[in-house]
């Protein structure tokens, strides 16, 4: 989920593990959950923000799970299916981090956010916001 202001200031979160890994809000769907419910739940869990106004970008990306993330999944799961959502917010605001997942946050101008994220799918999502 790319959270951004009308001026395209974008929220990035730093993961606890691995340190230095900057990303947008991400999360895992529960078996009984629709993608929109997952997006709203993860926004609230990771930032404390209300997810009213989520916009489905109708973009999905399938990619192999990297070795550093393997321990999060069962042995038979080898790929991840990512859904892209945008959440426009009126202005930069304080965030309540989930201390079990993230150590810091920052609001960055779009171009700086693009070069700051660690994940190529995050970079691509931010580039879509630019377009």
Domain range holding 38?
A: 2-130
- The per-residue pLDDT string of the chain (131 residues; one tens digit each, 9 = 90 and over) reads 999 999 999 999 999 988 899 999 998 888 899 999 999 999 999 999 999 999 999 999 887 877 777 777 778 888 888 899 999 999 999 999 999 999 999 999 999 999 999 988 899 999 999 98
Q: Which pTM does this prediction carry?
A: 0.90
Closest CA to 77 of 86, 66, 88: 66
pLDDT at residue 57, rounded to an integer: 96
CB 100 within 8 A of CB 16: yes
Number of structural domains the chain divides into: 1
Q: State both tokens at 74.
A: 């069962």
CA distance 54 to 13: 18
CATH number for position 123: 3.90.79.10
Number of other residues whose CB lies within 10 A of the CB of residue 39: 25
């Amino acid at each position: 989920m790319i959270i951004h202001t009308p001026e395209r200031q974008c929220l990035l979160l730093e993961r606890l593990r691995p340190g230095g890994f900057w990303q947008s809000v991400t999360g895992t769907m529960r078996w009984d959950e629709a993608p929109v419910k997952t997006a709203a739940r993860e926004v609230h869990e990771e930032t404390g923000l209300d997810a009213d106004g989520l916009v489905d970008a109708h973009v999905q990306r399938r990619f192999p799970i990297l070795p550093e993330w393997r321990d999060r999944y069962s042995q038979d799961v080898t790929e991840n299916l990512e859904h892209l959502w945008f959440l426009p917010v009126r202005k930069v605001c304080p965030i309540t981090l989930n201390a079990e997942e993230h150590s810091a946050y920052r609001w960055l101008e779009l171009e700086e956010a693009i070069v700051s994220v660690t994940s190529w799918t995050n970079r691509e999502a931010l580039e879509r916001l630019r377009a």
